[in-house]
Amino acid sequence: MSAPTAFRRRYGASPLHLLLVLASFALAVYAGLRLLQGDTLGVAVWFVGAALLHDLVLLPLYSVTDRAAQALFTRGPGPTPPVPRVSVNYVRVPAFVSGVLLLVWWPLVLRRVEHYTAATALPAGGFLGRWLLITAALFAASAVILVVRTRRWSRAQRQARSATK
């Protein structure tokens, strides 16, 4: 194996990929050092608390929720005609995006920031309504995509049955 082939297999398609990865690591180290210049103990406690919160509370919570959604959206064998196995991703994706938006904007969504208006000269109200609208739009778009794909599947099944007769 030649050196360029081994290089591409290990680091990606080009040296530019390696350069970008190294630059991103350098930026992460710089940001970490700047973050730790302030309250080092507070940052360490925050990281440990975030890891514990995720591993002990959030991971079991969304694992159980995912299992419940899988059980709800799948049909087992039985007398009913075969139905496509509906992907749980039609619920997962909008729920994930909505959760990330809530995680990023929760102080404003829950109106926990008193100094926001003074600092930005913008009203702090309305974030809850906007977040709810975005969440509803995400789930609605996911439902529309699910309906379109299910209809296409049904049409393809009917055509396949009529072709075999």
pLDDT value at residue 11: 65
* Average pLDDT along the chain: 82
- Provide the pLDDT confidence category of residue 86 given band limits of 50, 70 and 90: low
Burial 47-82 (b: 16+ CB within 10 A, else e): eeeeeeeeeeeeeeebeeeeeebeeeeeeeeeeeee
pLDDT value at residue 77: 58
pTM beyond 0.75, yes or no: no
pLDDT value at residue 82: 47
Q: Average of pLDDT values for 17-36?
A: 89
